């Protein structure tokens, strides 16, 4: 059955569900992930007028709010609500620019551009979306900071999306963490981050610095879940943050989405493969949110067949209900969107955790600040 509930309605329902389960912090005001830019701008503007301290931002991919809250007892925490789909390309761009998915036009990983080409955003090199909207790095420069981005686990990815995300920053491309040689212990991971930060910060210069550092926990969680390595790493982030604060700096941490257990449903995969071949469709999407580009004259029949065959755990929605009608993002997705409502969906490459849908764990992420 086609379900016409908007993402906002789903998110409210998710929050209500959360209250029913007595989550400890649901009375907190929940801000949008898009407010990260203004939250950070406020920190920088206060600092430049006061102590002019360097500000370190740890951007930790794939961490839900509830895990950060328990691992970071010394931080002041806020809960941010991520965007739909809850996927890295959409969420990091919204966090750093303050733009909605509708505005920046990156609705996932695989999507169709205006010229009809279906692209993967992580290797696409052409024009992507609006330019000149500013981001945390342009804000920092305007306020009087030097803006530095440690690409960390994204190195050596090169694509339009990453260039757009890090626009106006001075890039530091040395060192990887969860995807590098020190990935086997929390201590090794923390040492790597400490070393990269030191190379960006240890200079005698009067200009305060914003150093934004990307750590890709997501890929590890896809394969292993939130195991002891991830929990130990997060706990040591709290200790590292205190160490940096004690050296006279401010530390902020944030994330883009959480991940949930996802079991690959082989019969669902076979059914989708069969129908897409039969109706000459191309697929797109992001993890636990998928869509299809069907020839217009076959679309009604394709949709009817999908509705007949999909398990109840997969929701079908009209794309206009989840992406703002007429927006750049809406133009780039198919006309209906499938999302996972349980752990039963399609995934790939041996993944046992995934993201893209709107469960509480996927949707709510931390904004944390350590200062004195
Ligand atoms: Zn991510």
Q: What are 223-256's pLDDT values in tens digits?
A: 999 999 999 999 999 999 999 999 999 999 999 9
* CB distance 69 to 353 below 8 Å: no
Render the burial of 13-49: b for 16+ CB within 10 Å, e for the rest: ebbeebeeeebeebeeeeeebbbbbebbbebbeebbe
Q: How far is the CA of 91 from the centre of ligand 1 (A)?
A: 8
Residue 3 has a pLDDT of: 40
* CB distance 284 to 333 below 8 Å: yes
Q: How far is the CA of 82 from the centre of ligand 1 (A)?
A: 11
**Tens-digit pLDDT profile for residues 128-139:** 989 889 999 999
Question: CA end-to-end span of the chain, whole Å?
Answer: 54
Residue 9 has a pLDDT of: 41
Q: How far is the CA of 59 from the centre of ligand 1 (A)?
A: 10
* CB distance 57 to 40 below 8 Å: yes
**Strand, coil or helix: 265:** coil
Q: Count CA within 13 A, CB hemisphere, residue 224.
A: 12
Residue 155 has a pLDDT of: 85
pLDDT, average across residues 353-362? 96
- Greater confidence (16 vs 367) lies with 367
* CB distance 104 to 161 below 8 Å: no
Angle at the Cα of 347 from the Cα atoms of 151 and 337, rounded to 5 degrees: 95
pLDDT, average across residues 84-108? 97
Task: Band the pLDDT of 20: cuts 50, 70, 90.
Answer: very low
**Tens-digit pLDDT profile for residues 26-35:** 446 899 999 9
Q: How far is the CA of 88 from the centre of ligand 1 (A)?
A: 4
Residue 182 has a pLDDT of: 64
Q: How far is the CA of 1 from the centre of ligand 1 (A)?
A: 30
Q: How far is the CA of 299 from the centre of ligand 1 (A)?
A: 31
Render the burial of 326-345: b for 16+ CB within 10 Å, e for the rest: ebbbbbbbbbbbbbbbbbeb
Of 76, 70, 63, 79, nearest in space to 26 by CA:
79
12 pLDDT exceeds 70? no
Task: Band the pLDDT of 363: cuts 50, 70, 90.
Answer: very high
pLDDT, average across residues 251-274? 95
Q: How far is the CA of 99 from the centre of ligand 1 (A)?
A: 17
Mean pLDDT of the chain: 90
Query: 73 phi and psi, to 5 degrees?
Result: -70, -20
13 pLDDT exceeds 80? no
Q: How far is the CA of 251 from the centre of ligand 1 (A)?
A: 20
**Strand, coil or helix: 128:** coil
10 pLDDT exceeds 80? no
**Tens-digit pLDDT profile for residues 209-232:** 999 999 999 999 999 999 999 999
Nearest-angstrom CA–CA distance, 364 and 37? 17
Q: How far is the CA of 58 from the centre of ligand 1 (A)?
A: 13
Q: How far is the CA of 341 from the centre of ligand 1 (A)?
A: 19
The lowest-confidence range among 13-17, 81-85, 123-127, 249-253 is: 13-17
Q: How far is the CA of 248 from the centre of ligand 1 (A)?
A: 30
7 pLDDT exceeds 50? no
Instruction: Kindly give, in sequence order, each residue whose CB lies less than 8 Å from that of residue 145, ignoring residues fewer than 6 positions away.
Output: 44, 48, 55, 207, 208, 209, 210
Q: How far is the CA of 307 from the centre of ligand 1 (A)?
A: 30
Which is it for strands 289-293 and 263-264: parallel, antiparallel or unpaired?
unpaired
Query: Where does residue 114 fall: left (phi above 0), alpha (psi -120 to 50 degrees), or beta otherwise?
Result: alpha
Nearest-angstrom CA–CA distance, 164 and 149? 12
Q: How far is the CA of 230 from the centre of ligand 1 (A)?
A: 15
CA distances from 122 to 89, 106, 149, 284 (A): 8, 11, 18, 14
**Tens-digit pLDDT profile for residues 158-207:** 999 999 999 999 999 988 998 887 667 999 999 999 999 999 998 767 89
Q: How far is the CA of 356 from the centre of ligand 1 (A)?
A: 9
Instruction: Kindly give, in sequence order, each residue whose CB lies less than 8 Å from that of residue 131, ignoring residues fewer than 6 positions away.
Output: 164
Q: What are the strands, taking DSSP E only, across the chain?
A: 2-3, 30-32, 55-61, 76-81, 110-112, 118-120, 146-150, 170-172, 209-216, 250-254, 260-261, 263-264, 282-286, 289-293, 314-318, 336-340, 344-345, 353-354, 364-370
- pTM of the model as a whole: 0.91
Round the CA-based radius of gyration of the chain to a whole number and report it. 21
Nearest-angstrom CA–CA distance, 153 and 323? 30
């Amino acid at each position: 059955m086609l379900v016409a509930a908007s993402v906002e309605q789903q998110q409210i329902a998710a929050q209500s569900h959360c209250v029913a389960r007595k989550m400890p912090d649901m009375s907190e005001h929940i801000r949008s992930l898009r407010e990260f830019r203004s939250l950070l701008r406020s920190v920088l503007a206060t600092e430049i007028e006061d102590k002019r301290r360097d500000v370190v931002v740890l951007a930790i991919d794939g961490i839900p709010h509830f895990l950060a809250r328990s691992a970071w007892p010394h931080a002041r925490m806020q809960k941010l609500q991520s965007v739909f789909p809850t996927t890295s390309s959409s969420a990091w761009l919204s966090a750093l620019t303050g733009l909605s998915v509708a505005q920046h036009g990156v609705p996932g990983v695989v999507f169709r551009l205006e010229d009809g080409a279906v692209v993967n955003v992580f290797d696409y090199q052409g024009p992507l979306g609006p330019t000149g909207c500013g981001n945390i790095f342009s804000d920092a420069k305007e306020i009087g900071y030097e803006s530095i981005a440690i690409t960390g686990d994204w190195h050596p990815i090169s694509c339009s999306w990453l260039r757009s995300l890090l626009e106006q920053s001075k890039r530091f491309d040395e060192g990887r963490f969860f995807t590098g040689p020190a990935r086997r212990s929390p201590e090794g991971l923390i040492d790597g981050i400490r070393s990269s930060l030191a190379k960006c910060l240890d200079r005698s210069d009067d200009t305060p610095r914003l150093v934004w550092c990307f750590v890709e926990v997501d890929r590890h969680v896809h394969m292993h879940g939130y195991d002891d390595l991830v929990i130990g790493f997060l706990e040591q982030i709290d200790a590292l943050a205190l160490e940096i604060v004690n050296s006279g700096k401010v530390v902020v941490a944030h994330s883009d989405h959480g991940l949930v257990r996802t079991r690959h449903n082989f019969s669902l995969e076979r059914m989708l493969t069969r129908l897409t071949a039969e109706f000459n469709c191309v697929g797109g999407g992001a993890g636990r949110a998928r869509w299809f580009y069907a020839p217009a004259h076959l679309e009604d029949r394709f949709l009817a067949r999908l509705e007949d065959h999909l398990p109840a755990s997969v929701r079908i929605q009209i794309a206009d209900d989840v992406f703002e009608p007429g927006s750049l993002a809406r133009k780039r997705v198919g006309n209906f969107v499938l999302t996972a409502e349980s752990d039963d969906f399609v995934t790939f490459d041996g993944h046992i955790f995934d993201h893209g849908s709107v469960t509480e764990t996927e949707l709510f992420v931390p904004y944390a600040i350590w200062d004195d």
